[in-house]
Amino acid sequence: MRASSLKIFLRVGFVMNHIWLPILVQFSLTFGIAGLFWPEKFLPIFELLMFPWAASHRLVRVHSVAALLLSAGLFAFLLTGMR
């Protein structure tokens, strides 16, 4: 009984140590797709974050595509690196 609970604890610890990458992939994918579908909702956020420069729909789209590329790259790393 004690050995099996130790194995479960170690397995949960392994999952919790490596959960950051799938979460980062999901956030990147979510914000990338949302920025492409609704750039007008992200425009105020970009105006706040990029204060001295003017934010535009084009800038939001470029950052959304970059977030999608980051998500694809992280997903590829997830598939190849975590075996």
Residue 9 lies in a domain: no
Number of structural domains (the chain) is 1
Residue 8 lies in a domain: no
CA distance 41 to 45: 8
What domain range is 66 assigned to? 18-81
Residue 5 lies in a domain: no
Return the pLDDT at 71. Answer: 92
Side-chain-facing half-sphere of 4: CA atoms under 13 Å: 1
Return the pLDDT at 60. Answer: 87
Residue 26 lies in a domain: yes
* Local structure of residue 53 (DSSP, 8 states): S
* Local structure of residue 52 (DSSP, 8 states): T
Residue 34 lies in a domain: yes
Residue 77 lies in a domain: yes
Output the pTM of the full model: 0.70
Residue 12 lies in a domain: no
Is the distance from CB of 29 to CB of 70 less than 8 angstroms?
no
Picking from 62, 80, 60, 70, the residue whose alpha carbon sits closest to that of residue 27 is: 70
Is the distance from CB of 36 to CB of 61 less than 8 angstroms?
yes
Which range has the worst mean pLDDT, 2-11, 48-57, 72-81? 2-11
| Digit-coded pLDDT (tens) for 15-66 | 566 778 888 889 889 989 998 899 888 888 888 877 788 888 888 899 899 9
Return the pLDDT at 9. Answer: 59
